[in-house]
Amino acid sequence: MTTNPFATPPDPHAVRNAVASALSEDRAYSDVTTQSTIPIEQQGHGQFIFKEAGVICGLGIAEETFAQLSSDLYFEALHRDGVFVEAETEVATITGPLAAMLSAERTALNFMQRMSGIATLTSQFVAEAARGGNARVVDTRKTTPGLRALERYAVRCGGGHNHRDNLQDGVLIKDNHITATSNRGMDIRSAIHSARDAVSHTLRIEVEVETSEQATAAISSGADIVLLDNMDQRTMKTIVEQAPSTIFEASGGVNLGTIQAIAATGVQLISVGALTHSAPALDVSLEIRPE
């Protein structure tokens, strides 16, 4: 299984904000159950256990979650993000005030389960793609609002790569842009030239196409990347072979059963929205022992 235990971590500011928002949403500072049943001085010890095999992700976010509730809590990671572990593996411990531990428990687990699920699914896609060729598996902007930085980090931990992070990162002329510009009498060539004139020379221009004719127009007009959307594999392979100097991305209809054949067409990139919008949460538990 392909993973990346050396993935660049998410921006600390994004982590702090995401954790603070999640704790506020859960009213962790007003946990009436814990406050009415657990003495403030009582201590405890907890173990994070992966109940199923998968790729670890979110240890640092879990640590930040506990730290925001209490500076007296001590979190120790026993592994690192991006590492595959078998079921029933202990991946971290937490020690300190039991009340704060209980109030932060669900939020910390939610982050770890979500992020580990994304990392695990990504690693599966990456492994299948490698069986067909050398294409990079990349994510999309189909992320949970407010959690993009964390979810894209999880993709990296799973061995995948990130597409543009936001609408400012690069030009991607999609089908609706083409429809809108054609309504004003512009073709794909005109749309590409308009974008080239308007943005910095450092930005790449990518065009989404749905037919061989559109692909030819995009290539001849100097598109840096051509996104082949929902095309059959034979058509994709033909287009790729005719323009060896162009970067091609495949999208649409990508799943674990098709990605190997898609990679075999020779495309350099395969974007998969499912990495972030459909990854099942991994089963992670926090087993707490009061002292």
* Choice among 16, 80, 106, 164 that is catalytic: 106
Is residue 237 part of the annotated active site? The answer reads no
Q: Which residues pair with residue 137 across a beta bridge?
A: 270
Is residue 174 part of the annotated active site? The answer reads yes
Is residue 90 part of the annotated active site? The answer reads no
* Choice among 16, 80, 142, 237 that is catalytic: 142
* Choice among 16, 141, 164, 174 that is catalytic: 174
> For residues 29 and 113, is the Cβ–Cβ distance under 8 A?
no
Take residue 63 and report the two structure tokens written for it.
Answer: 């640590």
By CB atoms closer than 10 A (0-12, 13-18, 19+), residue 49 is middle
| Helix/strand/coil for 239 | helix
- Tokens 């050398």, residue? 134
Whole-angstrom distance, CA of residue 140 vs CA of residue 1: 22
* Choice among 31, 105, 229, 249 that is catalytic: 229
Is residue 106 part of the annotated active site? The answer reads yes
Is residue 72 part of the annotated active site? The answer reads no
User: What is the bridge-based pairing of β-strands 89-97 and 43-50?
Assistant: antiparallel
Whole-angstrom distance, CA of residue 111 vs CA of residue 270: 26
Cα-to-chain-centroid distance, residue 50: 20
Residues 6 or more apart from 241 whose CB is under 8 A from it?
A: 266
Whole-angstrom distance, CA of residue 24 vs CA of residue 211: 48
Whole-angstrom distance, CA of residue 279 vs CA of residue 139: 12
Take residue 24 and report the two structure tokens written for it.
Answer: 């506020």
Q: Where are the alpha helices (DSSP H) in the chain?
A: 12-25, 32-37, 59-69, 98-130, 148-157, 175-182, 188-198, 212-220, 233-242, 259-263, 274-277
Residues acting as catalytic residues: 106, 142, 174, 208, 229
